[in-house]
Amino acid sequence: MSSTASPSLVERLGHPADARLVIVHADDLGMTRSSNVGVYDVLRGGLATSASLMVPCPWARDAAAGHRGEDVGVHLTLLAEWDTYRWGPITHSRSLVDGSGGFPRSHADLFDHADPEEVRKECRAQIERAVWWGFDVTHLTSHLGTLLLRPEYFDAYLELALEFGLPARLAAESAERNVGFPFRKIAASEGLVFPDHVVHADQGLRRTLERALVDLPPGVTEVVARPGVDTDELRAACDDWPARVEDHALLRDDRGLAELLDRTGAVLIGWRDLRDLQRQA
């Protein structure tokens, strides 16, 4: 008896099996005013096709005021990693704060005392607030991968994604070995839609994009950047401000990257395409 393989993600999206689809994603909308300007700039006049909002951050409401219907998801946030720039849970949950009254700065600190039910409550509140602010939320991501590192937190991530009908970013299969549980297999078995591959621009966006596009495999690949415009605010808030400024410049003005995308035959899509598929399923 012969069996037929299930259609791949690109086939379910209406493309040939060998298609190469790319989401160019801008993280950290709402973190700073500089991030808001940079993210919307690359969405409206550059290569970015989607972004995600950090609801608890001080500039998230400003991001909502500037939203014009762009493809924006929620970057579920449980950490505030910078030494001098702080934010905390919108639910004021006591297990989610450190001694300074904001989110912990590290995963180790968070995992020491974060109650899974308060994690679930906080993540739900962040999604609901984004919706209340007027965002047509297209997907979920997890700030610094926090919700993928413990099964009890991943349960909340998966449950909320399915409840709200949203696709979600998952780390690569190699990360499953590091964290010790098969979150991709679990998510797939529950019907969650997620990109086949995720590439983070940790070594510089130009180098990351060039390397990813030269060897771009069939399927849906998400490339993650963190654009921001160069301001005193960004320099004071984020130690990695030079990389954020570079991400903005490349996604906004570098025609070479656009030409490279064309040469590889890659098709740019957004998370909204995946959300439509998730909700059909």
pLDDT digits (tens, 9 = 90+) for 34-89: 999 999 999 999 999 999 999 999 999 999 999 999 999 999 999 999 999 999 99
Q: What is the greatest pairwise CA distance in the chain?
A: 67
Q: Which domain holds residue 50?
A: 9-280
For residue 184, pLDDT beyond 90: yes
Q: Is residue 71 part of a domain?
A: yes
**Structural domain contains residue 4:** no
Evaluate whether residue 1 is within a structural domain. Answer: no
Provide the CATH number for the domain around residue 93. 3.20.20.370
Question: At residue 142, does pLDDT exceed 70?
Answer: yes
Take residue 133 and report the two structure tokens written for it.
């602010």
Asked if residues 77 and 265 have their Cβ atoms less than 8 Å apart, the reply is: no
Q: How far apart are CA 187 and CA 197, in angstroms?
A: 15
Give pLDDT tens digits for 187-235.
999 999 999 999 887 667 777 777 777 888 999 999 999 999 999 999 9
Distance CA 49, CA 46 (A): 9
pLDDT band of residue 4 (cuts 50, 70, 90) is low
Residue scoring higher pLDDT (104 or 216): 104
Has residue 2 been placed in a domain? no
Place of tokens 């008896």: 1
Task: Please state the φ and ψ torsions of residue 188, each to the nearest 5 degrees.
Answer: -65, -40
Is the Cβ–Cβ distance between 209 and 257 less than 8 Å?
yes
Please give the tally of structural domains in the chain: 1
Check residue 107 and give its pLDDT: 96
Residues 136, 142, 145, CA angle at the centre, nearest 5°? Answer: 160
Instruction: Decide if 90 is inside a domain.
Output: yes
Please tell me the distance from the alpha carbon of residue 158 to that of residue 160, in angstroms, as a whole number: 6
